[in-house]
Amino acid sequence: MKEDTQSSLPFDEDEVNALFDAEEETSSRVDQNQHEAPSSIVMPSLDKTSMPQKRPQSVYHDLGQMYPDAPVASTSGTVVHRADLIDEGGVAQLMDWAADGDVAVVDLRRIIDSPELLAGMVARLTDFVVSDLEGELLQLTETRLLVLPQECRGKRGLADEAFV
């Protein structure tokens, strides 16, 4: 550009250099402050109000709740089932258990007040368990019935025995 067409600045070159030098000093002071150690550090792990929770190494699974009707292989020994008889649909399950060679302790409290229903269910169980499978039906208490498969036999008089 031509010098005659250039407009002149209101300050000279030394003043401009002084401005830039002052700016460099300010920025260098800020950089120095950034490298200094902080006065305090916030560490959540040192916070006493919220301690970290220890997580278990293994997850607990309630298998009885996850698989209430799990098939149990009876390779040695006898499986004993507990059952509440509510309606005629439960009789089929009791028959299945007896056919598999399992023992069932049946609670009859829910149907004890309807004698016709109770008599019909006990007759069906008696026909299948006693006649067909050659097992046994035993009355344990006023409201409990024991279904035994062919391999198991009940013995009278054990109520009076003392077991240690």
Residue 138 within any structural domain of the chain:
yes
Instruction: Give residue 106's pLDDT.
Output: 92
Q: What is the pLDDT of residues 23-67, one digit of tens each?
A: 665 555 555 555 666 677 777 666 666 666 777 677 777 777 887
Residue 9 within any structural domain of the chain:
no
Q: What is the pLDDT of residues 54-101, one digit of tens each?
A: 776 777 777 778 877 777 665 667 788 999 988 888 899 999 999 988
Q: How many helices and strands, by DSSP H and E, does the chain display?
A: 4, 4
Residue 50 within any structural domain of the chain:
no
Long-range contacts of 161-164 (CB under 8 A, 24+ apart): none
Q: Which residue has the higher pLDDT, 130 or 45?
A: 130
Instruction: Give residue 164's pLDDT.
Output: 46
Instruction: Give residue 74's pLDDT.
Output: 55
Residue 95 within any structural domain of the chain:
yes
Whole-prediction pTM value? 0.51
Q: Which residue has the higher pLDDT, 110 or 14?
A: 110
Residue 90 within any structural domain of the chain:
yes
Q: Domain range holding 145?
A: 79-154
Question: Tell me, what CATH number does 121's domain have?
Answer: 3.30.110.150
CA distance 82 to 68: 12
Residue 145 within any structural domain of the chain:
yes
Residue 60 within any structural domain of the chain:
no
DSSP assignments along 87-155, one per residue = STHHHHHHHHHHHTT-EEEEE-TTTTT-HHHHHHHHHHHIIIIIIIS--EEEE-SSSEEEEE-TT----
Give the count of beta carbons closer than 10 Å to the beta carbon of residue 81.
Answer: 16
The tally of domains found in the chain comes to: 1
Residue 120 within any structural domain of the chain:
yes
